[in-house]
Amino acid sequence: MLPNFNRLKSFIMSRILVNYLKSFLIVGVVSALAWFSAYLVVENFPILCSERARSVFFLAASILLIVAGIGRVGWEIQTWGGNSPDELLDLRIFRFLSLLGTFFLIFEYFVGHLVK
């Protein structure tokens, strides 16, 4: 008797869908935090709203996102289960740098629009 591949396929697809939905939710939360932080900065720390400061935030965001993308080891350490300590650390570093870079990028955008 052959295994039921449709069941396996639907399980894998549901995990993929849940992962992307979680990602959208996390990016939404990061965006809301960036907007709130930008609002506080514009109100309380106008020196951080200068063109130079915004350029620094944009460069920091760009560098963090590039490092996250290039630095990810990925397939070199991939195991069948996907839960080795190396993989988990690689994933956590990637997510942290990606979310921090996303925060700075959205923060810079909102600061620019709140100042005008």
First-to-last CA distance in the chain? 68
| Rg of the Cα atoms in the chain | 19
Looking at the predicted structure, is the pLDDT value of residue 88 above 90?
no
Cα–Cα distance measured from residue 105 to residue 113, given in angstroms and rounded to the nearest whole number: 13
Looking at the predicted structure, is the pLDDT value of residue 110 above 90?
yes
Burial group, residue 11, by CB count within 10 angstroms (0-12, 13-18, 19+): exposed
Looking at the predicted structure, is the pLDDT value of residue 3 above 90?
no
Q: Which residues contact 99 (CB under 8 A, 6 or more apart)?
A: 26, 27, 30
Q: In the prediction, which pLDDT does 4 show? A: 67
Model confidence, pTM: 0.81
